[in-house]
Amino acid sequence: MPYDPPYPTAATTSKHSIKESYHGLVRHEVLKLAPRCCGNVLDVGGGIGASSAYLKATRRAHAATVIDLVASGCMPEIDHTFSGNLEDATLLDEIAQTCELFDVILCLDVLEHLTDPWAVVDRLSALLAPGGCIIASIPNVRNYRLIFPLIFQGRFDLVESGILDRTHLRWFVKDTAKALMSRGDLRVEYCHGFFEGRKKKLFNSLTLGAFRNFLTIQYYIRAVKHA
């Protein structure tokens, strides 16, 4: 990746208390996709704003804004908060009138919960400065944990969290996730399939990546806005 490591960790920022609880996790693995200097950050569906607050606390961002259904109790580093339905165009219009164009927009585990994520990506792109980027994490419906029960047991059981989260309204594989993030002036410059576990990583290495898309839990995507 073109950005400079090493990236700061929570352990290196003792003067800041970055709380890591449910709906408040600092997504370190995704933030590696962000530029070293993030400038003005918009955290979409960011909960308490932990990830964007972390960027500001570590001086990688100078301003941070959070949108969420209920944007309350945000981290003290957050400059602006907006509460409401992301699919309500008037909400994004309000943000456009209040804030300057953003350099980085975080959409972490958000787009799959929307009725029309394509329209939302278009509206978010309008809030992005030329050369800025949208960073998204999108679940992979092609994962083996979903496919095997579906094919061999006829099961498609929705659960409280994960790939089969019952609140997911849209489903994506690698190509459709990239297409979602390639609309208008956006161009995908990085797409990485994320999975965990030593055995999975060993299997992926031994099979030369042939089954990587079946192991992948989420795709981490960075899309840049071209003028």
Residue 194 within any structural domain of the chain:
yes
pLDDT tens per residue across span 163-180: 878 889 999 999 999 999
Q: β-strand 218-225 against 80-83: which pairing, if any?
A: unpaired
Query: Which CA distances in Å does 4 have to 31, 34, 113, 218?
Result: 12, 10, 32, 23
Q: What is the DSSP string of 1-69?
A: --SPSPPP-GGG-TTS-----TT----HHHHTTS-S--EEEEEET-TTTHHHHHHHHTTSEEEEEEEET
Report if residue 32 sits inside a domain: yes
Residue 20 lies in a domain: yes
pLDDT higher than 50, residue 4:
no
Q: Determine contact, residues 125/188, Cβ cutoff 8 Å.
A: no
Task: Tell me: pLDDT of 162 over 70.
Answer: yes
Greater model confidence, 145 or 70: 145
* Cα→Cα distances 32→9, 29, 73, 141, 215, Å: 11, 6, 26, 23, 21
pLDDT at 24 (0 to 100)? 57
Domain that holds residue 97: 10-140+171-198+216-225
CATH number of the domain bearing residue 74: 3.40.50.150
The per-residue pLDDT for range 7-54, each reduced to its tens digit, is 233 333 333 444 344 345 899 999 999 999 999 999 999 888 999 999
Residue at 185 is within a domain: yes
What value does the mean pLDDT take over residues 199-212? Answer: 75
In tens, the pLDDT along 53-82 reads 999 999 999 999 999 987 677 888 999 999
DSSP state letters, 144-205: HHHHHIIIII-----BSSSTTBTT------HHHHHHHTTSTTEEEEEEEEE---HHHHHHHH
Report which of 73, 94, 76 is spatially closest to residue 84, judged by C-alpha positions.
Answer: 94
Asked if residue 1 is part of any domain, the answer here is no
How many structural domains comprise the chain? 1
What is the chain's mean pLDDT, rounded?
85
Q: Does residue 183 have a pLDDT over 70?
A: yes
